[in-house]
Amino acid sequence: MESHSVQILTQIFLMFAAAKVLAVVGERVKVPTVISEIVAGILIGPHLLRLVQVEEWTLALAELGAIVLLFDVGLDQKLTDLMKVGGTALLVATLGVIVPFFLGYGLLILREHSQAESIFMGAAMVATSVGITARVLQELGVLKTVVATIILGAAVIDDILGMIVLAVVSSLSEGVNYVQIASVAALAVGFTLFIVLAGRRVMRRVTPRVQRFAAGDPYFALAMVICLGLGVAADKIGIAAIVGAFLAGLVFSEEELTPRLKTNIHALREFLVPFFFVAMGMQMDVTVLARREILLLAAAVTLLAILGKLVGCGLGAYRLGWRSAVRIGVGMVPRGEVGIIVASIGLGLHTISNEVYAVVIIMVLVTTLIAPPALKLLFAERKPAPSPPSDLL
Amino acid sequence: MESHSVQILTQIFLMFAAAKVLAVVGERVKVPTVISEIVAGILIGPHLLRLVQVEEWTLALAELGAIVLLFDVGLDQKLTDLMKVGGTALLVATLGVIVPFFLGYGLLILREHSQAESIFMGAAMVATSVGITARVLQELGVLKTVVATIILGAAVIDDILGMIVLAVVSSLSEGVNYVQIASVAALAVGFTLFIVLAGRRVMRRVTPRVQRFAAGDPYFALAMVICLGLGVAADKIGIAAIVGAFLAGLVFSEEELTPRLKTNIHALREFLVPFFFVAMGMQMDVTVLARREILLLAAAVTLLAILGKLVGCGLGAYRLGWRSAVRIGVGMVPRGEVGIIVASIGLGLHTISNEVYAVVIIMVLVTTLIAPPALKLLFAERKPAPSPPSDLL
């Protein structure tokens, strides 16, 4: 084929292979896959080994990866389970969103960054990536405890709140306008409620009809059409495309055909999501960390990101006793995809600088890395009988 | 996100949704999905409704689709089954490749097209797309007959021969050089034998080790790394990337883990392959068909494509009696992905014109459309007892 298409294919191969090789290496030293993939991107990207460039098609592929990822995240939410933990989870999630946001925002305002950049920083510190925590809790065999249930419940609400925050910040292309923020927030909440309430009702009617078609897997095709379609719709009304994909996932999350759909989405995810994390790593200019002030900023932001969740979520769960409160706080510490997406949108809009982008990536890497050992420590002190729960799995 | 990424996402949505909507409509009138997807591309493409443009990322996505498609085609080959039909299938496939090639090549040479363009035309007429035929034979409940076994066996050899032809033509970037053709052909044959013989042996050793990793689906990841890697390797030695993907499929085709791998690949295929066929349709300039000479050329090429397989494959199967020979010939008539890929490579290299590209697309559409009813007719005369086999399915 023409030389350019050879080049694209070579880069696709390098991105995918690097992600998978680092994931295998990472697994040996118990590093979560997300981290390995971001590091793979940093390594092969234009700032270190220069094996791949950030081009238009790279970002297109990365966006497809992000959309599949967020659809899958939405698919995994259990809204009916959520109702059971209700109050406490809502409080944990809300305070766990508000406190880190204002800590991040405040820090950058104090350092005299622009209003918009400070808002992006706050927003990037909001959303918990609960996948890591859930896996650790599962390994420890404590997934059915009150603490775990509240963490998982709060993570669902936190995801939805995070999406609303994202919707608001992604509309901040020209400066900060509070009337606009309020209207986008209202729009985002309305869109979310509409999709979740109306969407599920519509799906319940459409599903039996779709079954009749035999060509390929019509249900999967329909899910992807709706996922991409809501992504485009979200984009058109001025909020991030992945918010639409997430809502599409929510719509399908409790359909009876979900298990088969999940198998398909997981295959897509396995192939496409690495391109997202690798591309996000590729966009990080590690060289800025050589500057002492940026390194200090990264340290401060990471510390505030940890404290923000510990204090915010801990306060929300205070009535369960301080021990449970700390566990819940630590469980909510890992940030992930949403924080990175917020930062990459900011980078795309030229609202945040390369330096702040690098700081966000560092914050995501560190919070994701420290939560699992911290959780294991906190839960270990609880068990007097030395029965290793890892044998149960 | 930034406006350009919105635009890309919108186009991705339009391509996917158009493919799926037309596939559903097509299914009602018994049109194969491939056709519906190509027609979707023609409709929304830059020559008719102008909803989407052919851009770099479109072609990158299409190439990923083609690679997944050919990997899956390779995965479906049963080389051990092939040994059983052996001789006849080999004769059917070889004559069925040679006759159409020279008919196509000869026609364009007579019309005074360039040497290279004529070779591309011949090459595009070579490869049978047996998926359509296999589905029809299955519907008719005759998949276990000698005729069906020979068709399927010949299709495997035909695919491999088609890949070698493709490898040769894709190296024709600067004029025609017979020494180069011979060396690429030797390289392609060697590469094929090496991958198939050595590849399987390597996989038998590697597979048990891969199993140990728990993160994600390591076997699927390995398969995709090898698929993309062999694609890049093929490209580097000057033959088409999809040849490498096809060979990767062959390597994995008889591994014990294939069923689970297939589930994953089918999900990828369901999502990515439509972009390939839609993009191929988008590149077809239907307006050239308004010119009488192009329409006549399309008719002539299509006729020769049908006659080529009927005569070539029929001759190869002559000793089974003329009735079986005709059935086998008709079963081999449908062209598909490989023909289109040959044409699109030619278009990318500026070796073939928009007109010839449109002619190839028409040939693929017509041969794919007429084979199923013709097969049903030919097999219907065989059944005296009126037991509708469609009830058995």
What pLDDT is recorded for position B176?
66
Q: Which of B5, B13, B348 lies at the smallest CB-CB distance from A348? A: B5
SS3 B333: coil
Higher model confidence: residue B101 or residue A161? B101
- Which residues in chain B touch residue A240, judged by CB atoms under 8 angstroms apart? 1
In this prediction, residues A126-141 reach a mean pLDDT of 81
Structure tokens at A300: 């401060």
- Other CB atoms within 10 Å distance of the CB of residue A120: 29
Structure tokens at A314: 């801990």
Residues 6 or more apart whose CB falls under 8 angstroms from that of B24 comprise A213, A215, A218
C-beta separation of A365 from A304 below 8 A: no
CATH of domain B65-392: 1.20.1530.20
C-beta separation of A255 from A13 below 8 A: no
**In the predicted structure, residue B390 carries a pLDDT above the cut 50:** no
**In the predicted structure, residue A382 carries a pLDDT above the cut 70:** no
The number of helix segments (H) and strand segments (E) in chain B equals 15, 0
Higher model confidence: residue B55 or residue A355? A355
CA–CA dist A14, A373 (Å, integer): 31
**In the predicted structure, residue A156 carries a pLDDT above the cut 50:** yes
Q: Is the ipTM of this complex over 0.90?
A: no
What pLDDT is recorded for position A307?
96
What pLDDT is recorded for position B113?
93
For residue B390, the distance in angstroms to the closest alpha carbon of chain A comes to 14
Q: A265–B266: do the CB atoms touch at under 8 Å?
A: no
- Which residues in chain B touch residue A241, judged by CB atoms under 8 angstroms apart? 1, 5-6, 9
Q: B23–A215: do the CB atoms touch at under 8 Å?
A: yes
Chain A interface disruption, residue of B4, B9, B14, B276, most A CBs within 10 A:
B9
* Angle of CA points A211, A217, A219, to nearest 5°: 50
For residue B134, the distance in angstroms to the closest alpha carbon of chain A comes to 15
* Residue A158 pLDDT grade (very low, low, confident, very high; cuts 50, 70, 90): confident
Q: A56–B59: do the CB atoms touch at under 8 Å?
A: no
In this prediction, residues A23-28 reach a mean pLDDT of 88
**In the predicted structure, residue B111 carries a pLDDT above the cut 70:** yes
- Which residues in chain B touch residue A5, judged by CB atoms under 8 angstroms apart? 59-60, 63, 241, 348
In this prediction, residues A274-281 reach a mean pLDDT of 92
DSSP B128: B
Encode pLDDT of A225-269 as tens digits. Answer: 999 999 998 888 777 788 888 889 888 887 666 778 888 999 999
- Which residues in chain B touch residue A67, judged by CB atoms under 8 angstroms apart? 9
CA–CA dist A261, A212 (Å, integer): 16
- Which residues in chain B touch residue A2, judged by CB atoms under 8 angstroms apart? 348-349
C-beta separation of A152 from A73 below 8 A: no
The long-range contacts involving A206-211, CB below 8 angstroms and separated by at least 24 positions, are: A207/A255, A207/A256, A207/A257
Mean of the per-residue pLDDT values for chain A? 85
**In the predicted structure, residue A79 carries a pLDDT above the cut 60:** yes
Amino acid identity at A316:
G
Encode pLDDT of A362-380 as tens digits. Answer: 999 999 889 888 998 998 7
* Residue A386 pLDDT grade (very low, low, confident, very high; cuts 50, 70, 90): very low
Nearest residue of B to residue A11, measured between CA atoms: B232
Count of residues in chain A: 393
Phi-psi region of B301 (alpha: psi -120 to 50; beta: other; left: phi over 0): alpha
What pLDDT is recorded for position A83?
67
Higher model confidence: residue A340 or residue A131? A340
CA–CA dist B133, B367 (Å, integer): 11
C-beta separation of A124 from A105 below 8 A: no
Secondary structure element (H or E) that encloses residue B350, with its range: none
What pLDDT is recorded for position A393?
36
DSSP A363: H
- Residue B148, CB-side half-sphere exposure with 13 Å CA sphere: 19
Closest CA to A354 of A276, A302, A285: A285
Give me the DSSP letters along A121-151.
HHHHTT-B-HHHHHHHHHHHT-TTSHHHHHH
Structure tokens at A89: 């989870």
Torsions phi, psi for A138 (to 5 deg): -65, -45
Q: Which of B9, B24, B228 lies at the smallest CB-CB distance from A12? A: B228
C-beta separation of A124 from A343 below 8 A: yes
Q: B241–A216: do the CB atoms touch at under 8 Å?
A: no
What pLDDT is recorded for position A353?
94
Nearest residue of B to residue A272, measured between CA atoms: B268
**In the predicted structure, residue B369 carries a pLDDT above the cut 70:** yes
C-beta separation of B277 from B41 below 8 A: yes
C-beta separation of B344 from B169 below 8 A: no
Structure tokens at A254: 């409790």
- Which residues in chain A touch residue B220, judged by CB atoms under 8 angstroms apart? 267, 270-271
Cα dihedral value B111, B113, B116, B120, nearest 10: -60
In this prediction, residues A86-115 reach a mean pLDDT of 93
Residues 6 or more apart whose CB falls under 8 angstroms from that of B189 comprise B164
- Which residues in chain A touch residue B268, judged by CB atoms under 8 angstroms apart? 267-268, 271
In this prediction, residues A119-124 reach a mean pLDDT of 93
In this prediction, residues A12-32 reach a mean pLDDT of 91
CA–CA dist B102, B53 (Å, integer): 35
In this prediction, residues B94-102 reach a mean pLDDT of 95
Paired with B350 in beta bridges are: none
Encode pLDDT of B167-209 as tens digits. Answer: 888 777 666 677 777 877 787 778 778 877 888 788 778 777 7
Encode pLDDT of B266-291 as tens digits. Answer: 999 999 999 999 998 998 999 999 99
How is domain A3-382 classified at the CATH fold level? Na+/H+ antiporter like fold (1.20.1530)
CA–CA dist A254, B337 (Å, integer): 37
C-beta separation of B123 from B165 below 8 A: yes
Q: A12–B59: do the CB atoms touch at under 8 Å?
A: no
C-beta separation of A249 from A260 below 8 A: no
CA–CA dist A249, A240 (Å, integer): 15
CA–CA dist B197, B190 (Å, integer): 10
For residue B19, the distance in angstroms to the closest alpha carbon of chain A comes to 10
Nearest residue of B to residue A225, measured between CA atoms: B17
Structure tokens at B368: 């794919």
Encode pLDDT of A181-229 as tens digits. Answer: 787 778 777 877 887 788 878 877 877 777 666 556 788 999 999 999 9
Q: Which of A33, A60, A216 lies at the smallest CB-CB distance from B215? A: A33
Q: Which of B20, B232, B266 lies at the smallest CB-CB distance from A10? A: B232
CA–CA dist A365, A39 (Å, integer): 9
Residues 6 or more apart whose CB falls under 8 angstroms from that of B58 comprise B11, B15, B52, B275, B279, B282
